[in-house]
Amino acid sequence: MFKYSDSNKRYYTLDYFYKHKFNSKVFKVSLNAGFTCPNRDGKVGIGGCIFCSKLGSGEYAGDVKKDLVTQFNEVKEMMLKKWPKAKYIGYFQANTNTYASVDVLKEKFETILKLDNVVGLNIATRPDSITHECLDYLEELSKRTYLTVELGLQTIHTKTSILINRCHTLECFVDMVNKLRERNINVVVHIINGLPYETKSMMIDTVKFLSNLDIQGIKIHMLSILKDTKLEEMYKKENFKLITRDEYIDIVCDQLEYLREDIVVNRITGDPKVSDLIEPNWLIKKVTILNDIDKEMKRRNSYQGIKYKKNSN
């Protein structure tokens, strides 16, 4: 059995991590705090990342027209039907959640921290959107609650990053990881498999690179082509190859083998809304993908980190 598992999982799941840290079931409550993005408003770019929806990847976040407490309670009540004794983490998900003055951030974040049984915050943002003043606040916040900053990276490869319009460099990302870790702030990194024209080895190299950084978690997504995105336009024009379901499972299992064993896997596939999804349709059956990843790891008699070597590339 994998050392960070009490089930058939051969990788370090977020559920396992939360249960052992908080001695309780913990679930995230996704929120939309009404932030925008510097890659949309012209500060660093226009139009956003080509895969990003109009909701700023916040399809499962609350309704931005409602206040944060109402959003929180609506999601919480729904989740409590399944886990009545759970604790909560406020997840600021949509758009760039440090892209505002510290006074605004405090008003948003502290509102959620005051609620009963909230044990932490997850704040999704970009590595180019955390000021020194914001770092000071996040450091202070991390001493009062379980704080995680989620940084979008998607790929380490410059050519792909330019293609998808990330509008920040790998060096910028690494610099922000180091700044957050110097203040003992937990970091989770988002990556995407299946980005246009990337090979299997390129996707694995992204994970190898991250395994040698001081990060605490990773989210692995499959590229979703969503309606009304730049990616949809590109796909219809160029018809670039999408990886198949079997290829995705194979790539993820390889990535897990190269992923340092103490990095918590927060997510291992995408979860798009069916009404927005153009391709790949196999993403709809999320549970079967998870099950088949487990089966393949078992077939290989493999575990997270089995091929990890420090400073290997």
Residue 302: what residue type?
S
Mean pLDDT by 10 residues, the chain (313 residues): 92 97 94 90 84 64 85 89 91 94 97 96 97 98 98 97 94 98 98 97 98 98 94 94 97 98 95 90 94 98 94 58
Query: How big is the CA angle at 148 (ends 60 and 116), to the nearest 5 degrees?
Result: 70
Q: Among 191, 174, 251, which Cα is nearest to 49's? A: 191
3-state class (DSSP) for residue 142: helix
- pTM given for the model: 0.94
> In the prediction, which pLDDT does 270 show?
83
CB-based contacts of 61: which residues, under 8 Å, 6+ apart?
30, 31, 32, 55, 71, 91, 93, 94
Beta strands in the chain (DSSP E): 26-31, 87-92, 118-125, 146-154, 186-193, 217-222, 225-226, 264-267, 277-279
Tokens of 159: 């050519």
> In the prediction, which pLDDT does 312 show?
54
3-state class (DSSP) for residue 19: helix
Q: What 8-state DSSP symbol labels residue 72? A: H
Helix axes 245-258, 200-211, angle to 10 degrees: 30
3-state class (DSSP) for residue 260: coil
Q: Among 4, 55, 5, 3, which Cα is nearest to 30's? A: 55
Task: Return the CATH fold of 14-300.
Answer: pyruvate-formate lyase- activating enzyme (3.80.30)
